Amino acid sequence: MKKVLFIVIVFFVALNLKAQSDVSIGIKGGLNLTFFKVELSNFGPNTETATGYYAGIFADFEFEEAFSFQPELLYIGLNDFKFLNVPIYAKYEVAHNLYLLAGPSINYFFDFFTNKLKIGADICSSYYLLPTLDVHIKFALGLQELAPNGLFFGIGYKL
């Protein structure tokens, strides 16, 4: 029930933002490196890395020339497990065509964890090669126990 209420609230906030701002939508995808910390008996934590892919959609709600709000919905595939990543970014232009993005992210794991919903924090840098094409790198930090950290390299295209 909480998940449904959260989705409804996000939907209505997005509708309200759409009415007050310029909106563009797009697609993105790329390479994902995910880091898991695994306890090895008496030897301490060991970091294991899984390589995968991600693809999804985003909306860019522009408020001012240099500031916007950018939620995303990304499908991530890593070896045998899949999950959804939903970051909600504040986006700020720090130099011509160079943006910094930061915000919380919600992850839903389909079959890996018992507690399937994990909260994280993301920080991202994006550079627009063309007005509709960007390259980006982001770091996703899992804030809860057993939540993985990830490094994403990709491209985005505004439709």
For residue 2, give the 3-state DSSP assignment.
helix
Q: What are phi and psi of 87, to 5 degrees?
A: -80, 150
pTM: 0.76
Instruction: Identify the band that residue 6 occupies on the pLDDT scale cut at 50, 70 and 90.
Output: low
For residue 136, give the 3-state DSSP assignment.
strand
Q: 48 or 110: whose pLDDT is higher?
A: 110
Q: What DSSP designation does 131 have?
A: T
Instruction: Identify the band that residue 152 occupies on the pLDDT scale cut at 50, 70 and 90.
Output: very high
* Distance from C-alpha of 33 to C-alpha of 152, rounded to nearest angstrom: 6
Structural domains in the chain? 23-158 (2.40.160.20)
The least confident of 16-30, 61-75, 124-138 is 16-30
Q: 158 or 13: whose pLDDT is higher?
A: 158
Give me the percent of the chain exceeding a pLDDT of 90: 45
Structure tokens, 5:
């209420």
pLDDT in tens, 9-25: 655 565 555 555 588 99
Contact present, 118 and 86 (Cβ < 8 Å): no
Contact present, 85 and 52 (Cβ < 8 Å): no
Residue 94: exposure state from Cβ atoms within 10 A (0-12, 13-18, ≥19): exposed
Instruction: Identify the band that residue 118 occupies on the pLDDT scale cut at 50, 70 and 90.
Output: confident
pLDDT in tens, 66-84: 899 999 999 998 887 788 8
Q: CA end-to-end span of the chain, whole Å?
A: 34
